[in-house]
Structure 1
Amino acid sequence: MIGRLSGTLISKQPPEVMLDVHGVGYEVQMPMTCIYELPDIGEPVSIITHFVVREDAQLLYGFNTFAERSLFRQLIKAQGVGPKLALTIMSGMTAQQFVQAVTHDDVSTLVKLPGVGKKTAERLVVEMRDRLQQWSSATPATDAASIDFGDMQSTLVSNSPRDDALSALLALGYKPAQAEKAVAQALKADDGASSEQLIRTALKNM
């Protein structure tokens, strides 16, 4: 089991990042809420990971805190929720926002996420309510290595902020027309925005 990676951040192509760990490049899929908080390309970083082995692939999912990874692990235990949908849920809202939605039976907020229909949202509220009690009492909220990276502006390796933002939304499960519209609206608000800013704004407007 790979539980943590510490190395140099060498690329970001949301929702995937790559870390160089002693000359080996590890591809890690992360929620957008976690990618926002990563340091610049070329900076040291430590990521908490969850390792998934399938018949056709071996996948690493990464998080900035143990609490985020623990929430991911609770989510994938829910009926009908696999790693991809869990990643999408955690990209559309922070862990605290998800907890609040479940606590207040806020199905309308959950159904705005791609892949989460009304039945899935209702099931999540019911199944996750008890699990979140276990999550809050058993999860340390410290980050991967207690490293203070400061308030750094992350940079994406890309040809176009618009294309990167669009690719990220499609990878998270949004339909092409929906993603195009959200990115276009984000560009109208700020045509000089970085890829991460566009993604953040697009997700807020979904």
Structure 2
Amino acid sequence: MIGRLHGILLEKQAPDVLLDVQGVGYELQMPLTSFYELPELNQTATIYTHFVVREDAQLLYGFITKQERSLFRLLIKANGVGPKLALTILSGMTAQEFVNCVERDDIATLVKLPGVGKKTAERLLVEMRDKLKSLLETASGNEREFMLKSNYTPSNLNSAEEDAMAALLALGYKPAQASKAVSSAAEEGMDSETLIKAALKSML
């Protein structure tokens, strides 16, 4: 299993990343919580990974911290939640917002995420409550801070609206839904990160 990669960041187009590790290019998908913690292109990055093998594909998911990877792994163990939906959940809301949803039994917010129906949301709330409590109790100081607070480092990408559209589509939103959200959230001078977060917030 591939557990961690350390190399040169060659490409990043949310949520996709290409990392050069001693001449081998690894393609990863990352939740936006981790994506916006990445350094600039051509800089070194350390990414914790989760490797998924399917009959038709081998997929690599990346995370800035072990704790976020642990949360991802807990999510994909829940009934009705696969890696793609777990990635969408961790991109559509911060770690703190997800924890808050579980603590408040907030089904209404969860079902607004693409792919999360009422039954899936109900299962998540039941199955994740004890798991999240255990995860937070065993977290280190830095990891606990990440779980309970989400502050991203802005990343300036070209064509912010195009980047935002691509990110929303990759997360499972329908084209019309993504376009409406991006258009309504876009303001002059916005960078990609700010626009994506504003667009996602407008749909919650």
**TM-score, normalization by structure 1:** 0.88
* Letter aligned with residue 176 of structure 1: P
Find the counterpart in structure 2 of residue 146 from structure 1. Answer: none
Find the counterpart in structure 2 of residue 197 from structure 1. Answer: 194
Map 1:115-154 to 2 at 5 A. Answer: 115-140=115-140, 142=142, 153-154=154-155
Once residues 101 and 76 of structure 1 are traced to their aligned partners in structure 2, the CA distance between those partners, rounded to angstroms, is 17
Once residues 153 and 201 of structure 2 are traced to their aligned partners in structure 1, the CA distance between those partners, rounded to angstroms, is 21
Find the counterpart in structure 2 of residue 14 from structure 1. Answer: 14
8 Å Cα contact 2:36/2:153 also seen in 1? no
Once residues 107 and 153 of structure 1 are traced to their aligned partners in structure 2, the CA distance between those partners, rounded to angstroms, is 30
Q: CA deviation at 1:197?
A: 2.2
Once residues 65 and 196 of structure 1 are traced to their aligned partners in structure 2, the CA distance between those partners, rounded to angstroms, is 19
Aligned length: 195
Structure 1 residues not aligned, in runs of 5+: 144-150
Find the counterpart in structure 2 of residue 177 from structure 1. Answer: 176
Once residues 177 and 49 of structure 1 are traced to their aligned partners in structure 2, the CA distance between those partners, rounded to angstroms, is 32
Q: CA deviation at 1:97?
A: 1.8
Higher relative contact order (CA 8 A, sep 6+): 1
Once residues 129 and 41 of structure 1 are traced to their aligned partners in structure 2, the CA distance between those partners, rounded to angstroms, is 38
Map 1:1-206 to 2 at 5 A. Answer: 1-140=1-140, 142=142, 153-156=154-157, 160-187=159-186, 190-206=187-203
Relative distance call for 1:7 and 1:155 in structure 2 (3 A) is farther
Please state whether the residue corresponding to 1:38 is helix, strand or coil. coil
Once residues 95 and 153 of structure 2 are traced to their aligned partners in structure 1, the CA distance between those partners, rounded to angstroms, is 22
Please state whether the residue corresponding to 1:18 is helix, strand or coil. strand
Once residues 37 and 56 of structure 2 are traced to their aligned partners in structure 1, the CA distance between those partners, rounded to angstroms, is 31
Once residues 153 and 99 of structure 1 are traced to their aligned partners in structure 2, the CA distance between those partners, rounded to angstroms, is 23
Structure 1 stretch 90-99 or stretch 70-79: which is displaced more?
90-99
Q: CA deviation at 1:79?
A: 0.4
Find the counterpart in structure 1 of residue 146 from structure 2. Answer: none
Q: CA deviation at 1:98?
A: 0.9
Deviation string 1:81-107 (CA, Å, 9 cap, x unpaired) is: 000000000001122221111011111
Q: CA deviation at 1:140?
A: 4.0
Sequence identity percentage: 65
TM-align CA RMSD: 1.7
Please state whether the residue corresponding to 1:28 is helix, strand or coil. strand
Structure 2 residues not aligned, in runs of 5+: 144-151
Find the counterpart in structure 2 of residue 148 from structure 1. Answer: none
Once residues 167 and 21 of structure 2 are traced to their aligned partners in structure 1, the CA distance between those partners, rounded to angstroms, is 24
